[in-house]
Structure 1
Amino acid sequence: MLRKALFLIALSIAIISCGGSMAPQNVTDSTKSASPKLGSDNADSAVSYSPVVTLATSSDKGALLIIQNDCRNCHREREKLIGPAFSSIAVKYTDKDIDQLATKVIKGGSGIWGDISMAPHPSLTKEDAKKMIAFIFEIK
């Protein structure tokens, strides 16, 4: 009974928190971040750009599936909400875990990241779940 009450409280917090601002981060180009090239004598004149992977800027099928489903009720890209941050998942697992994680997304479960269980998503196909996981692995 206590678990159900805690789950309902956590779910309520997640739903309330969804009303947050969707404003882009304060970056000159929201899809790129500047970093000097390694080994360059003049770092100011030699700037390379590496893409910043975000749900907001990606047209990846996995990102679109995450947006279309309820994933963001419990997960954020780079910070823990109810469930772990996508970036934490990307660091903990590798490509060899995609099948296992896709099954977990579809069936739900708990225990790996704490006591709060992830809701099952039985309407997702295994292929769509794999696309979502593959995108999450890009958020490091």
Structure 2
Amino acid sequence: MVEDDQDRRVRGLPVLGDAGHPAGAPHRLVLAVGVLDVIDVPEEQQRFIAELKRLIEETGLEDEARLVFGRMTLAVNRYLSGQVIPMDGSCYDLAFRLARFLPAGSDAQEVGERQIRAANDAKAGRVRERRLARLARGSG
């Protein structure tokens, strides 16, 4: 049986690109920093998410994520929801999987390098937000 996005939402399961946030609402993420702090998903991470969504949309298979990502689909859902930022190797895996479905002329190596730069920026943004949360809490 093939499961569509509506079925998954009704059952409370994640849908590719569905972060569970109302449209326009800022992403919120709970991170463990000593005591749990709630931080906004940094702007850099939001750019990474937007770029990944754009690449997925370019494939024309955003509703068939398993065809593109296979076993990585759950990890991709976590990247898109802002829960996790991929490591460099995962960025290359994403790029090579996406490149098979992107329009001709898309270079997997170039896509991978762009994803790595965006992911590294996102990681730096998250570190900054954690540091600010700690300082605000007074345990800097």
Determine which structure has greater relative contact order: mean sequence separation of CA pairs < 8 Å that are 6+ residues apart, divided by chain length.
Answer: 2
- Tell me which protein shows more helix as a share of its residues: 2
Q: TM-score, normalised by structure 2?
A: 0.36
Higher gyration radius (CA) = 1
Q: TM-score, normalised by structure 1?
A: 0.36
